[in-house]
Every structure is written in C-alpha cells, then in structure tokens.
Chains A and B, each alone.
Chain A
C-alpha cells in the first residue's frame, strides 16, 4: 500500500523567510496530493492541492511542486507570517484513501 513520509517534523523559520516541507510517496498510482494546515485544537483545512498531471501550482504565498518520477512533492511558503504557525500535513490519494504524512510543526519566529 501507499506510504507517505514527511520531513522535517519541526521547522522553525524567521518571520519573512521561506519555509519548505517535503514529502515522498511510494505508490506510483497516486494521483492527488493535498496539503492541510491544522492549528492547535482545530480541524485540518486544505490550503493547496495538486494532481498528477501538473508539476507546479501556486496560490499567493503558497506553492506546491510535484515530481512524479522521483515520487516527491513539496510545499513552499514564502514571506512567512506569524499566522502561518501550525502543523502542516501532506497526503497522497491512493485506492480511495488519503494516506497522510506525520506532519510538520512550523514555527514562525518574530
């Protein structure tokens, strides 16, 4: 079955700098890759997603890149702000399931 690995587990960046979170997946049939943001005590919320027929997608300060050959995808956040502090999860859709990474705790230092 699908396996998703996410790195790093914790990422601390200075406010205004960029943050990059990386994920790898194992099932080459996976075709949908969402990223969710979860603030403490709240539900996960989708921030961006990408399908396997696209290599990159951008939405304001957030971008996701997908390398199907290498089976990895990354989340890029530019000009980080305090409200970006949260846990970020990547996921890969395979066999009707979303398989989730373990999460990255993003800390924005003022």
Chain B
C-alpha cells in the first residue's frame, strides 16, 4: 500500500512569505506527527494529531506556525511570515496510534531566502 506522502518535495520562498506544506498519511492511521529536521540533527517534534484534534502542539516554535487536520486524514502545516531560520526539512509521520511505529514521509525541504 501507499506510504506517507508529502508535497511539495522542495519549496523555496522569500522571507516574509506564507507557505503551506501538505502531508498525506497512511490510510487508517489515526495519529499524525510533524517534525522539523535541520542538517546534522535529529527530528524536532512540532505537533501531534490524534484524529482531527491537535493532541499536543507544544513543539510549535511560535505563533507563526499552525497545523490543521480537518477530516482526520490529510494535514497541512502552515507557516506565516517565514524567516530564514525556518529553513529545514519538514517531516511528517503517521502511526496507528500513539506509542506505535511511526512511518515517515519523504519530507519537504523548505528554503527561505
């Protein structure tokens, strides 16, 4: 079956612009996670959805970052007024529920010029 997919694979934007990153989880996976990974570092937790609701958004760095999952499947990570420091690979993962294997998407490489 299909794995986790993310679009776009690459996104280059200018400082101050708004971007949306999309994640399509594995069908039937109720849990969805967003991470951010900078070069040479491990994934940094951003937000966790269980179904449609954000069960834990404590990892979002500030109020420029927001994520939704309106129907409990596809999720969109939204970043307003992008800054150069937002440049990273944004990874999405899904699982059958908390505490189970997380399957990762290929990531979106965001570059803010």
Interface set of A (CB-CB < 8 Å, partner B): 31-32, 34, 42-46, 49, 89, 93, 95-103
In-complex Cβ contact of B98 among A43, A49, A96, A102 (8 A)? A96
Give B contacts to A, CB under 8 Å.
Answer: 33, 40-45, 48, 50, 55-56, 59, 91, 98-107
A32 to B105 alpha-carbon distance, docked (Å): 21
Cβ contact within 8 Å between A102 and B91:
no
Contact residues in A for B42 (Cβ distance below 8 Å): 89, 100-103
Q: Are A31 and B99 within 8 A (Cβ)?
A: yes
CB distance from B69 to the nearest CB of A (A): 15
**Which one of A42, A97, A101 has the highest number of Cβ atoms from chain B below 10 Å of its Cβ?**
A97
Q: 25 A–B contact pairs at CB < 8 A?
A: A34-B102, A42-B106, A43-B91, A43-B104, A43-B105, A43-B107, A46-B101, A46-B103, A49-B101, A89-B42, A93-B99, A95-B56, A96-B48, A96-B56, A97-B45, A97-B48, A97-B56, A97-B59, A98-B33, A98-B45, A100-B43, A100-B44, A100-B45, A102-B42, A103-B41
